[in-house]
Structure 1
Amino acid sequence: MNTREVIDKYYESANAGDWDTWLTLFDDNVVVDEQLAGHIEGIEIMRGAIGGIERGYSKFQNNPQHVVIDGNEASVVSHISAANATGVPIEANVANYFRLENGKISYMANFHDTRPFDPFVNQRLN
């Protein structure tokens, strides 16, 4: 897949809750700087985070508003419309940066105001 196809599949699979497909888009040695989770290294850490995403959100949609592709790099401005496990709404604008190597995401960073995610971060999950 080319860069645009990987980026499109990233949002498509995340919005469908298809985390198995989503994980295939990342290099095994991926590095992620995630606004809420911090610095992450390796696909196994990403795989482990899926459970928290599935338990922590009752709804999650990340809709791209503006996509810029330049070779093996992409920047995406998007809007997240989500809800925590008990349905408390979360609305946030986000910017993601991606770098790909050999058709896989090797580095990703996201940037957003963390306050809208308080209902996710501060909830108690069993």
Structure 2
Amino acid sequence: MHIKEVVDRYYELANAGDWDAWCDLFAEDLVMDEQLAGHVEGIGPLREMMRGFPETFAVFANKPVHVVIDGVQAAVISTITARTHSGAGIEAGVCNYFRIEDGRITYMANFHDSVPFAPIQQPQGA
């Protein structure tokens, strides 16, 4: 897959909630710096992390606003709109950085304001 196709598929699968296929976009030895989840290495830990995603969000959408591709790198400005199962709304601007080699995401980092995600970071009943 061309880099633009991988990036487009990343958002398509995320917005469909198809987390197994979404994880398939990543290399086995991926490295991810995820602002809320922290540093992730390897496809196994990523798959485990994403298993809990449907339990966290009742609704989740990540819509690209601007995409820049340069060689094996891509940067995407997007907007996340989500709702937890308890009804808390989340709206945040995001910048994702990708390095894509041989049709797989080998490195990804995301950057966003963490304040809108407070409802999922606080322990239940807090």
After TM superposition, is the score higher than 0.5? yes
Runs of 4+ in 1 over 6 A off after TM superposition: none
- Corresponding residue of 1:79: 79
- Corresponding residue of 1:27: 27
- Corresponding residue of 2:94: 94
Distance, in Å, in 2 between the alignment partners of 1:53 and 1:74 is 24
What's the CA shift for 1:21? 1.2
**SS of 2:36 mapped into structure 1:** coil
What's the CA shift for 1:51? 2.2
- Corresponding residue of 1:63: 63
1:97-126 CA-to-partner distances (Å, cap 9, x unmatched) read: 00011110000000001000001111539x
The letter for the 1-side match of 2:54 is E
What's the CA shift for 1:42? 0.4
Count of matched residue pairs: 125
| RMSD after superposition | 1.2
**SS of 1:21 mapped into structure 2:** helix
The letter for the 2-side match of 1:12 is E
Normalising by structure 2, we get a TM-score of: 0.95
1:116 aligns to 2:116 (yes or no): yes
- Corresponding residue of 1:10: 10
**SS of 2:14 mapped into structure 1:** helix
Distance, in Å, in 1 between the alignment partners of 2:117 and 2:91 is 8
Q: Which runs of 5+ in 1 are unaligned?
A: none
The letter for the 2-side match of 1:24 is D
Q: Which runs of 5+ in 2 are unaligned?
A: none
Normalising by structure 1, we get a TM-score of: 0.95
**Percent of counterpart pairs with the same letter?**
53
